């Protein structure tokens, strides 16, 4: 183990530069920023991931955010184990009829102020399972069950797409987006 | 019937179904179906799958020693069929699913509780004689455990980590698990319903998302089933490129799993290294095939994109680099006593149960069942390639981890062979068209085990019925057994060493 640890000290870090905040996400969030959220959330956001029916493809890429290459934590994000500890619900879908109540309960258990991010085409209501009897509402979109602040598309969204969406969220929570709009 | 009838003789007793390829399908009458069940009780034939239709039920059987595969069908106009559960307990959840989706009642089953239907759908029997339902949740009677000092621990459907939803009900005595019961179905998306009437192209996308981590293997199996129904074989280059993608997918998942198992034993250093290896594979997959998970790259009749020489060179270099990385962290694993202390003799699964359930993949192979669909029944191009099937007999978390490790080495060897021998030629064959109703089945080895896809094409080429069967169907029930007598704190470790798909079994 010493050999491996020593190599890690002398080798350059594997982490790549982060993307800039997604312009689409900034546009979507601009309308939703409010001052109290900014004051309370500060510089760091805790994320609770809720799989409300996905094929697990989105989970694989959300997992990748934690690897040494994307290293989500350097931006102030961390994944937490309970919605009660979370500022952000990162929801993948389609929301199935069998998961509707669990998602609503996770949402209600998350303290205000909170953000909901719908990740992946299914969560946005445009995936291949839309229209099934087993999905919530007409499309299984997360927005059919709980209010959504930000949509990140892709099947599945790449770690870079997830990262640039979440970075826009961080800026919004810091008030940078509304500040930019005022000037 | 002759008391020791072979699978072929049972098939011969029924009415053969034309246009079913590559294995025979026979429609039995009720007596022959009952005789077949009695015969199965005496044999070690594996149940490959059991699925319903509006007024029929089908089971796929594999006589591994005799090398025979066949599908037996029973028409059930009265909405019930004699259950297989008493001779093959692996059928129980499949039969409960047939009851939920089609309203077909298995007579003689020990478990009549609904499985996928939690009472929340707007209809009941969505694929059968469907009727509007209330959409309100029904209480679910969990199996009891009685004794002094027992308590229950309910977990899920929403779990603490970034994983899929499902409910686990533990009965524990202090730290020791007395009984675990799974309740799944939370991510039921109505996949089989969506497939009815879909075009082959659309169905390929849906089946490719039955379980996202196995998207290549599912698309591979679906393409082969369509091609079987149409009576065509894909061109040689296609076969090799499909296998190349399938091995990359296996590698990415095995690296991810090994890292996650070590992480659940709180050894995050190996996880960090495994996650980097996984990311290297995903980035190479995107560069070579245009998608990190290679979704929708395998299509019926061919593959969606070719591999250029630059991509081939990148993959050859990747295989070399991964081999070196694997050797490094394997040494670390093998020399860390505190980690081995967690994985060795934890969550032991017996060989007898693995065989009884026909559990495939690393779950089966770590408990002495050497089945690998790439070998038997086999499919191109694996017949031309050299690889060993890793089998161990320890059956614990360590065994399942080491089988994955051995498979990483085999897959690296396969990738090198595929790149060396990649035939030239087209990447699309003739369009798989049919002129009459046709049926096809395929079995493909995903990273998790054997995936079965059975389908019937309508005369117009669209899907009449398609059933994708995930390997998890036969692994989930065994997790309940493997955890018995272990401590609750070792459940994440055991669960990760199985890594069953929720989405794959919930459909």
- The residue among A9, A51, A137 with the most chain B CBs within 10 A of its CB, best to mutate, is A51
> What range does the domain containing B20 cover?
7-129
Q: Are B47 and B61 in contact (CB under 8 A)?
A: yes
A-chain residues near B162 (CB < 8 A): 49, 51, 59, 62-63, 79
CATH number for the domain that contains residue B109 = 3.30.460.80
Q: Which of A59, A83, A132 sits opposite B164 (nearest CB)?
A: A59
Q: Do A1 and B189 touch (CB under 8 A)?
A: no
Rg of chain A over Cα atoms, rounded to whole angstroms, equals: 17
Chains A and B: how many Cβ contacts under 8 Å?
149
**Is the CB of residue A100 less than 8 Å away from at least one CB of chain B?**
yes
Given B109, B129, B149, which residue is the final one in a domain? B129
pLDDT of B468 reads: 98
Q: Are residues B378 and B460 in the same domain?
A: yes
Q: In Å, how far is B31's CA from the nearest CA of chain A?
A: 36
How do residues B436-445 score in pLDDT, each as one tens digit?
999 999 999 9
Query: Which of B179, B181, B146, B185 minimizes the C-alpha distance to B164?
Result: B185
Q: Are residues B109 and B217 in the same domain?
A: no
Q: Are residues B204 and B89 in the same domain?
A: no
pLDDT of A176 reads: 52
**Is the CB of residue A94 less than 8 Å away from at least one CB of chain B?**
yes
Per the domain annotation, does B181 fall within a domain? no
- Helix (H) / strand (E) containing B456: strand B450-457
Q: Do A97 and B120 touch (CB under 8 A)?
A: yes
Indicate if the pLDDT at residue A183 is higher than 60.
no
**Structure tokens that stand for A128 in this block:** 């291949």
Q: Do A132 and B189 touch (CB under 8 A)?
A: yes
What are the Cα distances from residue B285, in Å, to A171, B271, B476?
A: 32, 21, 30
The number of folded domains in chain B is: 2
CATH number for the domain that contains residue B220 = 1.10.645.10
Indicate if the pLDDT at residue B194 is higher than 80.
yes
Q: Are residues B113 and B207 in the same domain?
A: no
Q: Do B212 and A52 touch (CB under 8 A)?
A: no
Give the mean pLDDT of A53-81.
93
Q: Do A57 and B215 touch (CB under 8 A)?
A: yes
B-chain residues near A129 (CB < 8 A): 189-191, 194, 206, 209
Q: Are residues B115 and B199 in the same domain?
A: no
Give the Cβ contact number of residue A19 at 10 Å.
Answer: 16
Per the domain annotation, does B463 fall within a domain? yes
Q: Are A96 and B189 in contact (CB under 8 A)?
A: yes
Q: Which of A57, A81, A132 sits opposite B194 (nearest CB)?
A: A132
B-chain residues near A132 (CB < 8 A): 189-191, 193-194
Q: Are residues B465 and B328 in the same domain?
A: yes
Q: In Å, how far is B116's CA from the nearest CA of chain A?
A: 9
pLDDT of B486 reads: 96
Q: Which residues make Cβ contacts (< 8 Å) with residue B120, sequence separation at least 6?
A: A97, A98, A100, A101, B135, B136, B137
Report the DSSP beta bridge partners of residue B50. B59
Q: Are A83 and A182 in contact (CB under 8 A)?
A: no
Q: Model confidence at A39, in pLDDT bands (50, 70, 90)?
A: low
Q: Which of B126, B158, B202 sits opposite A106 (nearest CB)?
A: B158
Q: Which of B164, B276, B336 sits opposite A1 (nearest CB)?
A: B336
- Helix (H) / strand (E) containing B153: strand B150-155
d(CA A43, CA A78): 12
Backbone angles phi, psi at A3, to 5 degrees: -60, -50
How do residues B220-254 score in pLDDT, each as one tens digit?
999 999 999 999 999 999 999 999 999 999 999 99
**Is the CB of residue A27 less than 8 Å away from at least one CB of chain B?**
no
Residue A76, classified by CB atoms within 10 Å of its CB into exposed (0-12), middle (13-18) or buried (19+), is middle
Per the domain annotation, does B174 fall within a domain? no
Q: Model confidence at A43, in pLDDT bands (50, 70, 90)?
A: low
Q: Are residues B124 and B207 in the same domain?
A: no
Q: Model confidence at A179, in pLDDT bands (50, 70, 90)?
A: very low
Strand order in the sheet with B450-457: B20-21, B438-445, B450-457, B463-469
Report the DSSP beta bridge partners of residue B302. B299, B428
Q: Are B353 and B481 in contact (CB under 8 A)?
A: yes
Per the domain annotation, does B169 fall within a domain? no
Q: Do B189 and A135 touch (CB under 8 A)?
A: yes
Judged by CB atoms within 8 Å, which residues 133-162 of A form the interface with B?
A: 133-135, 140, 155-156, 158
B-chain residues near A67 (CB < 8 A): 272, 275-276, 278-279
Q: Do B209 and A51 touch (CB under 8 A)?
A: no
Q: Which of A4, A67, A128 sits opposite B279 (nearest CB)?
A: A67
Give the mean pLDDT of B292-305.
97
Q: Do B121 and A156 touch (CB under 8 A)?
A: no
Q: Which residues make Cβ contacts (< 8 Å) with residue A171, sequence separation at least 6?
A: A21, A26, A177
Q: Which range (A118-122, B40-44, B130-134, B206-210) has the least confidence?
A: B130-134
Q: Are residues B93 and B200 in the same domain?
A: no
In this structure, is the dihedral angle defined by the CA atoms of residues B124, B125, B127 and B131, taken in order, positive or negative?
A: negative
Q: Are residues B339 and B481 in the same domain?
A: yes
Report the DSSP beta bridge partners of residue B451. B444
Q: Are B152 and B171 in contact (CB under 8 A)?
A: yes
d(CA B198, CA B220): 18
What's the 3-state SS for B18-73? CCEECCCEEEECHHHHHHHHHHHHHCCCEEEEEEEECCEEEEEEEECCCCEEEEEE
Q: Do A55 and B292 touch (CB under 8 A)?
A: no
Per the domain annotation, does B1 fall within a domain? no
Per the domain annotation, does B78 fall within a domain? yes
Report the DSSP beta bridge partners of residue B25. B71
pLDDT exceeding 90 applies to what percent of chain A? 60
- The residue among B131, B161, B187, B208 with the most chain A CBs within 10 A of its CB, best to mutate, is B187
Q: Are residues B125 and B203 in the same domain?
A: no
ipTM of the complex: 0.94
Q: In Å, how far is B308's CA from the nearest CA of chain A?
A: 23
Q: Are residues B292 and B405 in the same domain?
A: yes
d(CA B40, CA B32): 12
Q: Are residues B439 and B338 in the same domain?
A: yes
d(CA B15, CA B17): 6
How do residues B168-177 score in pLDDT, each as one tens digit?
999 999 999 9
Compute the mean pLDDT over every residue in chain B, rounded to the nearest whole number.
95
Q: Are B71 and B23 in contact (CB under 8 A)?
A: yes
Q: Do B278 and A64 touch (CB under 8 A)?
A: yes
Q: Are B496 and B483 in contact (CB under 8 A)?
A: no
Query: Which of B115, B92, B111 minimizes the C-alpha distance to B357?
Result: B92
Q: Which of B120, B206, B275 sits opposite A100 (nearest CB)?
A: B120
Q: In Å, how far is A3's CA from the nearest CA of chain B?
A: 9
pLDDT of A180 reads: 41
Given B93, B111, B129, which residue is the final one in a domain? B129
**Structure tokens that stand for B482 in this block:** 């493997």
**Is the CB of residue A178 less than 8 Å away from at least one CB of chain B?**
no
User: B416-453: buried (b, 16+ CB within 10 Å) or exposed (e) per residue?
Assistant: ebbbeebeeeebbbeebebeeebbbbbbbbbbbbbbbb
B-chain residues near A96 (CB < 8 A): 186-189
User: B454-481: buried (b, 16+ CB within 10 Å) or exposed (e) per residue?
Assistant: bbbbeeebbbbbbbbbbbbbbbbbbbeb
d(CA B32, CA B24): 16
Per the domain annotation, does B64 fall within a domain? yes
Q: In Å, how far is A45's CA from the nearest CA of chain B?
A: 16
Residue B261 CA to its chain's centroid (Å): 20
Q: Do B165 and A102 touch (CB under 8 A)?
A: yes
Report the DSSP beta bridge partners of residue A151. A118
Q: Do B163 and A135 touch (CB under 8 A)?
A: no
In chain A, at which residue ranges do the beta strands (DSSP E only) sit? 45-51, 77-79, 88-92, 115-119, 150-152
Indicate if the pLDDT at residue A132 is higher than 90.
yes
Backbone angles phi, psi at B60, to 5 degrees: -105, 130
Q: Are A64 and A25 in contact (CB under 8 A)?
A: no
d(CA B216, CA B194): 20
Q: What is the pTM of this model?
A: 0.95
Per the domain annotation, does B153 fall within a domain? no
- Residue B286 sits at the vertex; the CA angle it makes with B284 and B290, to the nearest 5 degrees, is 140
Q: Which residues make Cβ contacts (< 8 Å) with residue A182, sequence separation at least 6?
A: none
First to last CA, chain A: 54
Query: Which of B382, B369, B383, B441 minimizes the C-alpha distance to B70?
Result: B441
pLDDT of A15 reads: 86
- Taking 3-state DSSP, the helix, strand and coil percentages for chain A, each rounded to the nearest 5, stand at 45, 15, 45
**Is the CB of residue A171 less than 8 Å away from at least one CB of chain B?**
no
How do residues B354-409 score in pLDDT, each as one tens digit?
999 999 999 999 999 999 999 999 999 999 999 999 999 999 999 999 999 999 99
């Amino acid at each position: 183990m010493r050999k491996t640890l020593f190599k890690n000290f002398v080798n350059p870090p594997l982490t790549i530069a982060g993307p800039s905040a997604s312009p689409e996400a900034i546009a979507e969030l601009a309308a939703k920023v409010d001052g109290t959220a900014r004051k309370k959330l500060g510089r760091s956001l805790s994320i609770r991931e809720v799989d409300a029916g996905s094929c697990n493809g989105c989970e694989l890429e959300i997992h990748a955010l934690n690897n040494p290459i994307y290293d989500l934590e350097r931006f102030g994000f961390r994944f937490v184990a309970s919605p009660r500890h979370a500022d952000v619900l990162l929801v993948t879908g389609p929301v199935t009829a069998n998961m509707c109540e669990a998602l609503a309960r996770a949402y209600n258990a998350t303290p205000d102020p909170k953000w909901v991010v719908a990740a992946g085409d299914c969560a946005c209501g445009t995936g291949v399972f839309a229209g099934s009897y087993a999905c919530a509402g007409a499309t299984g979109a997360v927005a059919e069950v709980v209010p959504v602040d930000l949509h990140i598309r892709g099947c599945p969204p790449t770690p870079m797409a997830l990262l640039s969406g979440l970075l826009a969220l961080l800026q919004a929570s810091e008030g940078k987006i509304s500040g930019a709009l005022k000037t | 019937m002759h008391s020791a009838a072979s699978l072929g003789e049972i098939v011969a007793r029924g009415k053969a179904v034309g246009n079913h390829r590559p294995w025979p399908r026979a429609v039995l009458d009720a007596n022959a179906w009952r005789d077949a069940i009695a015969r199965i009780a005496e044999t070690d034939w594996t149940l490959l799958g059991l699925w319903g239709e509006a007024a029929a039920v089908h089971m796929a059987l594999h006589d591994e020693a005799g090398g025979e595969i066949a599908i037996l069908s029973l028409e059930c106009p009265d909405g019930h069929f004699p259950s297989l559960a008493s001779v093959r307990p692996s059928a129980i959840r499949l039969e409960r699913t047939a009851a939920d989706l089609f309203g077909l009642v298995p007579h003689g089953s020990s478990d009549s509780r609904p499985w996928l239907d939690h009472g929340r759908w707007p209809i009941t029997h969505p694929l059968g004689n469907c009727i509007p339902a209330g959409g309100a949740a029904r209480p679910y009677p969990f199996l009891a455990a009685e004794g002094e000092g027992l308590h229950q621990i309910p977990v899920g459907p929403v779990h603490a980590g970034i994983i899929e939803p499902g409910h686990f009900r533990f009965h524990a005595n202090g730290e020791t698990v007395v009984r675990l019961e799974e309740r799944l179905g939370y991510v039921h998306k109505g996949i089989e319903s969506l497939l009815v009437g879909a075009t082959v192209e659309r169905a390929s996308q849906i089946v490719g998302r039955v379980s996202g981590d196995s998207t290549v293997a599912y698309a591979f199996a679906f393409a082969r089933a369509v091609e079987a129904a149409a009576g065509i074989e894909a061109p040689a280059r296609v076969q090799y490129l499909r296998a190349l993608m399938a091995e990359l997918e296996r590698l990415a998942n095995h690296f991810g799993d090994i890292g996650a198992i070590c992480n659940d034993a709180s050894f995050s250093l190996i996880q960090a290294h495994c996650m980097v290896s996984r990311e290297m594979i995903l980035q190479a997959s995107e560069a070579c095939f245009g998608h990190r998970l290679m979704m929708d790259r395998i299509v019926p009749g061919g593959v969606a994109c070719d591999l250029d020489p630059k991509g081939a060179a990148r993959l050859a270099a990747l295989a070399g680099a991964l081999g070196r990385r694997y050797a490094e962290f394997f040494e670390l694993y093998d020399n860390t006593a505190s980690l081995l202390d967690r994985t060795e003799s934890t969550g032991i699964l017996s060989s007898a149960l693995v065989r009884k359930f026909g559990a495939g993949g690393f779950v089966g192979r770590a408990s002495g069942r050497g089945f690998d669909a790439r070998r038997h029944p086999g499919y191109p191009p694996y017949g031309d390639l050299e690889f060993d099937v890793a089998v161990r007999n320890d059956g614990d978390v360590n065994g399942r981890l080491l089988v994955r490790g051995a498979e990483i080495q085999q897959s690296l060897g396969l990738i090198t062979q595929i790149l060396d021998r990649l035939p030239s030629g087209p990447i699309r064959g003739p369009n798989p068209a049919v002129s009459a109703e046709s049926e096809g089945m395929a079995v493909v080895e995903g990273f998790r085990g054997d995936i079965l896809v059975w389908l019937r094409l309508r005369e117009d080429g669209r899907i009449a019925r398609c059933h994708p069967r995930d390997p998890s169907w036969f692994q989930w029930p065994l997790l309940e057994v493997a955890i018995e007598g272990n401590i609750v704190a070792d459940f994440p470790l055991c669960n990760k060493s199985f890594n069953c798909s929720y989405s794959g079994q919930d459909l």
